[in-house]
Structure 1
Amino acid sequence: MGEPSLRERALRHLARRDHSRQELARKLSPYGSADEIEAVLDRMTELGLQSDPRYAEALVRSKASRYGSTRLRHELARRGIERNLIDEAIEHECVVSELDRARAVWQSRFGTSPADRREWARQARFLQTRGFSTDVICKLLKEAPDESA
């Protein structure tokens, strides 16, 4: 049995999970020229097997409960998704507000309000690495003592 064609390789990757166009091109790059890869990707898109909007929505849907909008935007941009598609995906798939998502992440990780500045900074850093904005973090950590009372 010979080497699989570019088309077969692309189908195998897409059968496992959705890929952005850039990801798929990167994975196929060792096996063909840029023109051949573009032709295969165009055909996959034409057949509806590869779709950046669908990929963006799926990624946001799967990660929105754990990450903030900043992190989601960064992840999608890193995978080659255009800015307008990123905005649409986040708008459509993030039905819960950023503050509520941050509260759920904070609650599952810490559950108790920070006792001192050091603990406050540690919790804020954790939320920041999850991609939540500074405004949301400050709001959440300021309201936390009120919830326990």
Structure 2
Amino acid sequence: MDYLARREYGQTELKKKLSGAGFTREATERAVDQLTADNLQDDHRFAESFMQSRISKGKGPLRIQLELSQRGIDSGTISTVLEMADLDWAALARQVRRKRFGPGLPTDFAEKARQIRFLQYRGFEPEQVQAAVGRDDEQ
């Protein structure tokens, strides 16, 4: 309960945390199952919270998907949460690019490549990256 009082955790992440604190596997499984049954722990709720946190940090859908899967969230839950976000990812990519590199578009190939790599690292899809660094982003 102490862990969940601070922030949301996915089941897998919570089990690892409890195992690391010295609890047996059986006790960990029982505790997490009970917390889930009592609706104190919910992977969907965790995924939504995690996604909002990453969006506010300027991360794209591919990065969010990767980080959620690394935390043991199943692909169905990840897909559902990303679809529910109903977010204009291209607009977010443009916003992230502007915040990092300023309002002007890249003027040469090297600068454009640098900005593309940055947005790819942030987890934006190719279409979103092109919308952010392309000529059609001035709106």
Q: Of residues 36, 58, 83 in structure 1, which corresponds to 2:49? A: 58
Paired amino acid for 2:133: L
Query: Residue 120 of structure 1 aligns with which residue?
Result: 112
| 1:72 lines up with 2:29 in the alignment | no
User: Which of structure 1's runs of 4+ aligned residues deviate more than 4 A?
Assistant: none
Provide the C-alpha distance between the structure 1 equivalents of 2:138 and 2:88, rounded to a whole number of angstroms.
18
Q: Unaligned 5+ residue runs, structure 2?
A: none
Query: Residue 132 of structure 1 aligns with which residue?
Result: 124
Sequence identity, in percent? 36
Query: Residue 84 of structure 2 aligns with which residue?
Result: 92
Provide the C-alpha distance between the structure 2 equivalents of 1:87 and 1:36, rounded to a whole number of angstroms.
31
Provide the C-alpha distance between the structure 1 equivalents of 2:138 and 2:79, rounded to a whole number of angstroms.
32
TM superposition shift of 1:36: 1.3
What's the Cα RMSD here?
1.5
SS in 1 for 2:104: coil
Q: Which has the larger radius of gyration?
A: 1
Aligned residues: 136
Q: Of residues 10, 13, 23 in structure 2, which corresponds to 1:23? A: 13
Paired amino acid for 1:96: L
Provide the C-alpha distance between the structure 2 equivalents of 1:74 and 1:135, rounded to a whole number of angstroms.
18
TM superposition shift of 1:32: 2.0
| 1:101 lines up with 2:95 in the alignment | no
Paired amino acid for 1:139: A
Instruction: State the structure with bigger RCO (CA 8 A, min sep 6), 1 or 2.
Output: 2
Paired amino acid for 2:127: D
| 1:34 lines up with 2:25 in the alignment | yes
SS in 2 for 1:113: coil
SS in 2 for 1:81: coil
| 1:81 lines up with 2:73 in the alignment | yes
- State the TM-score, normalized to the length of structure 1: 0.85
- State the TM-score, normalized to the length of structure 2: 0.91
Q: Unaligned 5+ residue runs, structure 1?
A: 1-10
Query: Residue 37 of structure 2 aligns with which residue?
Result: 46
